[in-house]
A and B are shown apart, each in its own frame.
Chain A
Amino acid sequence: MKRSYRILPVYTGDVSGVCSALYELGGMVVIHDPSGCNSTYNTHDEIRWYDQESLIFISGLKERDAILGNDEKFIEDILMAAKQLHPRFITLVNSPIPYLNGTDFKGICRILEKQLSLDCTYVKTNGMHDYTVGASRAMEMVATQFVKKGNTREKTVNILGMTPLDYTHAESVSSLKKRIEAHGWHVQSCWLMDCSLEEIATAGQASCNLVISSSGLQAAEVLWRSCGIPYVLGVPVGACEDLVFEKMEQAVHDHENQTMYKNLIQTNAKTTVIGEPVLAHSIAMDWFLTYRQPVKVICTTEKDHRACLKETCIALDEETMEQALHYDTVIGDPMFQYISKNHKKWVKVPHFALSGRLYLNDMINYWGKDGLKWD
């Protein structure tokens, strides 16, 4: 049965994905949920909670209010908190029970907007998807809601898809920015870490978007359609670094979206990379360029399969992952070792959205001095 898990944890959920994406923008995120979502998020899915303030709350939904459809309380509580804390915008997020009873989030947003004169948006979630779905929709909302069109500035790039769920090392943002600048590009905005709402507003002026995780792909599509900014899919890791910047030049020149790892060969591979698709393909490409050996990619997140190649294996449950994991060398989160029996070598690439705080001290800065090591 596809939905039963003997031992593997599930990925961070969609609700946490939204919260993680919007954490630093100064808005207020309200999860319509009885309890648990906020605690799960800040305990297991968020590394910034202790040191960096962000207005993320739950509604504390009660059975009686859910059954009777008492949205008034939800609205009143949000109004009260907003008047007290002065957020820059409000985002509402759903969970299983309001999803089940069909709460009219869009209607609630309209009421709140009218009363507060603030942007108020519903990001569609239901607590039953993984973080890539939530983060992707949150970034799509940001692209739709906050980016203004502007004159294109040459050699400027928006980094799309940066959250601690995929890039957990504390120096990830600064290191990547340095690499980009070393290649003669200027970072217009970084979605969505170390970035203000004002910087987001200018993202429409960038000449290129660099999508470094599937959470950023939907926003890239929006910006492609609304501002005509082409995007490159791929992470400048190791041996791929130059290739990424070549693709960025090409994307701007041809005004066409590019996939950095499209020439990756996966057939007859003895090595596999397992995890989120954009980073997994990029790491695979790094290995492929380094060793000239094929590498199989196993994509284990719900979004975004448009980032996958034809040969990529998509495995979204423990059973399928277990069947797919039969390689000599595996590159991926250590927790996958529970379901891989025959590997000879494991290259540990801890993924916070899977193993949470268990390997927090081993997180990799892909652009740091040490970077990703094969041995």
Chain B
Amino acid sequence: MSLLGLRDPNIETTIRLAGFPQPFGDHLEYNAMVHETWNIVHIGMLIPQSHQIYVCGKNCMRGVVMTAAEMDALDRFHSVVLDPKDIIDGDLEQCTIQGVCDVIDKLDAHPAVMIVFLVCVHHFLGARSKVIFEQLQNRYPDIRFVNGWMDPIMQKQGLTPDQKLRMATLDLLADDPIEPKQVNILTENLPTSADCELITWLKRHQIEVCEPTRTESFSQFCRLGKGALSLILTPTGLPAIQKYARRVQRPYLYLPFVWDYDRLQKSMDTLCGMISVPTMKLSVEECENRWKQVKEVIGDAPIEVDYLAYTHVLSLTRFLIEHGFHVQRVYVDRMNTEEKEDFIWLQKHAEDLIVSSTVQPGMRLAAKEKPDVLAIGPKAAYFNHTKHFVNCIDNGGTWGVSGMIHLADLLEEAFINEKDTKDLVVRKGLGCVSCI
């Protein structure tokens, strides 16, 4: 151990010494028993009345089919299992087409949408996805086919499978006549909280805010195509929304949930300007008062934060430190490139803040009982084996000052009450149905 109590430079460093955006190298990877993030199965299920078919080997299939099973959605999930012959001697395109057709022919009724997921071997064998989907569409004109990918081999150099899926999902929306009073919030996993100022302010000015997560049928989903403006709150959906905006020639606005009043106010002002409604002054004072109250309750309890809970983890950490909280560690394997300024601020003002990996092999042996730690995020909870944690993923459907106040509430609650960490963090897709 070093003077700062650092265990191993391969798994943790200080923010002062950390590289940006990647503080640790790409090596073997450990996977912690924390599974609350959404995967492509969860995201695909957000399209109402859609089904999914995966075309892959058994080992790859297992993770996705059990995701569907655990969310009680096996009736919307189907498989085409590849065997070595298909890869070595077979015609993968025809095998894929036949398998998908066979599944569809076995169903009692055709689904409105069929997402067909191709995998890494389709890339490597040069299978022509265009041919596959043209043939499927010709054979089943009543079904809308979506080309999904489960190709993690590509994700470190390009878009991740979930980014590609979000992109393909938006391809379902037509370039419908614009409804000027309709604003969409797109590519989010969870519905935006009803008390979020984005929602309340727009509603107050007779703007209808639509979200895929609140649609119950495919026809309702398609009505999103009338939106005059698209909003996006989390960065993973950006490539999808940019492509969509280009296609339909309509504006979009990225409103990142940063922990900075001025930037949030600017975002709000821009939005209001774009839709020609009066601007809204954010409730900064209320927020400050709430955080002061929480600080009085929590005091100097050690806090550790992970990248899963909030999309702008460095901004959040900075906010907490600026408000006098004792943040001792941030778990992050790759920093959000939008957070360079916050990174530099932390280097200057909190140079001993520890940055921990979550995937380096040494982390396998790093989880330790530290029940006094107050964790924000499931990985921070897991690595400390603490029962005091904020159980949140990807901003948890919150944004802005209301989202900041919401975290203050959650943090206070987590400090006071215990949670069953072992039961919670292993469940897949926080916010989805979980049958386990």
Cβ contacts under 8 Å, A44 to chain B? 62-63, 66
Taken together as a complex, chains A and B put the C-alpha atoms of A13 and B28 apart, in Å, by 21
Q: Would you list which residues of chain A between 309 and 361 have a CB under 8 Å from chain B?
A: 317, 335, 338, 355-358, 360
Chain B residues contacting A126 (CB-CB under 8 Å) are 57, 84
- What's the least CB distance linking B156 to chain A, in Å? 5
* Nearest B residue to A318, CB-CB: B79
Q: Are A4 and B124 in contact (CB under 8 A)?
A: no
Cα distance A355–B70 when bound, in Å?
Answer: 9
Tell me how many residues of B have a C-beta within 8 Å of chain A: 63
Q: Indicate which residue in A9, A43, A78 contacts B426 across the interface (CB closer than 8 Å).
A: A43
State the CA gap A77–B362 with chains docked (Å): 12
Report if B364 contacts A (CB, 8 A).
yes
Question: CB-nearest residue of chain B relative to A125?
Answer: B59
What are 23 A-B residue pairs whose CB atoms fall within 8 Å in the complex? A4-B79, A4-B80, A4-B81, A4-B102, A6-B103, A10-B62, A10-B81, A13-B57, A35-B152, A37-B59, A40-B59, A43-B35, A43-B63, A44-B66, A60-B28, A60-B156, A66-B124, A96-B57, A97-B121, A100-B87, A101-B124, A128-B59, A335-B69
Give bound CA distance, A55 to B364, whole Å.
Answer: 7
Q: Say yes or no: A63 contacts B157, CB within 8 Å.
A: yes
- Given A42-B33, A100-B124, check contact A77 B153 (CB 8 Å): no
Q: Known interface pairs A6-B103, A10-B81. Does A127 touch B58 (Cβ–Cβ under 8 Å)?
A: yes
Q: Is A36 an interface residue (CB 8 A)?
A: yes
Complex: how many Å from CA A61 to CA B87? Answer: 19
Smallest CB separation, A340 vs chain B (Å): 15
- Shortest CB-to-CB span from A111 to chain B, Å, is 16
Q: Is B134 an interface residue (CB 8 A)?
A: no
- Cβ of A45 within 8 Å of any chain B Cβ, yes or no, is yes
Residue of A nearest to B119 (CB): A96
With contact pairs A1-B98, A44-B66, A85-B365 given, residues A128 and B58 touching in the complex (Cβ less than 8 Å): yes
User: Which chain A residues border B119 with CB–CB below 8 Å?
Assistant: 96
CB distance from B392 to the nearest CB of A (A): 20
Count A/B pairs, Cβ under 8 Å: 199
Interchain CA distance A59-B28 in the complex, whole Å = 5
Give the nearest-CB partner of B81 in chain A: A3
* Complex Cα–Cα for A53 and B74 (A): 32
A39 within 8 A of B: yes
Contact of A49 among B10, B33, B77, B87 (CB under 8 A): B33
Confirm or deny: A191 has a beta carbon within 8 angstroms of a beta carbon on chain B. no
CA of A140 to CA of B357 in the docked complex: distance in angstroms? 36
Between B103, B125, B153, B435, the greatest number of chain A beta carbons within 10 A of the residue's beta carbon is seen for: B153
Contacts of A338 in B (CB 8 A): 74
A34-B153, A357-B66 known, 8 other contacts, Cβ within 8 Å? A13-B57, A37-B60, A39-B63, A40-B59, A43-B428, A61-B153, A63-B157, A66-B153
Confirm or deny: A64 has a beta carbon within 8 angstroms of a beta carbon on chain B: yes
A219 within 8 A of B: no
CA distance A99 to B98 in the complex (A): 24
B295 is an interface residue with CB less than 8 A from chain A: no
Give the one of A1, A36, A54 with max B CB within 10 A: A36
- In this assembly, does A130 line the interface, its C-beta being within 8 Å of a C-beta of chain B? yes
What is the chain A residue whose CB lies nearest that of B125?
A100
Give A353's nearest chain B residue, CB to CB. Answer: B62
Q: Which residue of B lies closest to A54 (CB)?
A: B364
Rounded to whole Å, the gap between the CB of B119 and the closest CB of chain A is: 8
Closest to B434 in A: A357
Q: How large is the interface on A (under 10, 10 to 19, 20 to 34, 35 or more residues)?
A: 35 or more
Shortest beta-carbon distance from A79 to chain B in Å: 10
Contact across chains for B29 and A38 when beta carbons are under 8 A apart:
yes
Residues of A with C-beta under 8 A to B30: 38, 57
Given contacts A62-B153, A66-B153, A81-B28, contact A127 B60 (CB under 8 A): yes
Given contacts A37-B59, A49-B33, A358-B435, contact A3 B80 (CB under 8 A): yes
Q: Could you tell me if B33 and A3 are in contact, using CB atoms closer than 8 angstroms?
A: no
Residues in B neighbouring A295, C-beta threshold 8 A: none
Task: Assess whether B83 is interfacial by the CB under 8 Å rule.
Answer: yes
Q: What separation, in Å, do the CA atoms of A44 and B64 have in the docked complex? A: 10
Q: Is the interface of A mostly helix, strand, loop or mixed?
A: mixed
Question: What 0/1 pattern do residues 136 to 163 of B give for CB contact below 8 A with A?
Answer: 0000000000000010111111000000
> Residue of B at shortest CB range from A57?
B28
Interface assignment of B109: CB less than 8 Å from any CB of chain A: no
Nearest chain B residue, comparing its CB with the CB of A30:
B28
**A58 at the binding interface (Cβ < 8 Å):** yes
> Min CB distance, B424 to chain A, in Å?
12
Tell me if B27 counts as interface (CB < 8 A to partner A).
yes
Q: Known interface pairs A57-B30, A81-B361. Does A9 touch B65 (Cβ–Cβ under 8 Å)?
A: yes
Q: Which residues of B contact A3 (CB under 8 A)?
A: 80-83, 86, 95, 99
Q: Please, which residues of chain B bring their CB within 8 A of the CB of A59?
A: 28-29
B27 touches A80 (CB 8 A): yes
The answer to whether the Cβ of A95 comes within 8 Å of any Cβ in the partner chain is: yes
* Chain A proximity of B10: nearest CB distance (Å): 6
Q: Is there an interface contact between A6 and B362, defined as CB atoms closer than 8 Å? A: no
CB distance from A359 to the nearest CB of B (A): 9
**Given the complex, which residues of B lie within 8 Å of A38, measured CB to CB?**
29-31
By beta carbon, the residue of chain B nearest A129 is B58
CB-defined interface of B280-324 with A at 8 Å, one 1/0 digit per residue? 000000000000000000000000000000000000000000000
Complex CA–CA separation, A171 to B34 (angstroms): 25
Residues of A within 8 A of B121 (CB): 96-97, 100
In the complex the two chains form, is A10's CB within 8 Å of B361's CB? no
Complex contact A77–B58 (CB within 8 A): no
Pair B65/A10 contact, Cβ less than 8 Å: yes
Residues of B within 8 A of A100 (CB): 87, 121, 124-125
Partner of B27, one of A35, A62, A77: A77
CB pair A35–B422 under 8 Å, yes or no, is no
Q: Are A84 and B361 in contact (CB under 8 A)?
A: yes
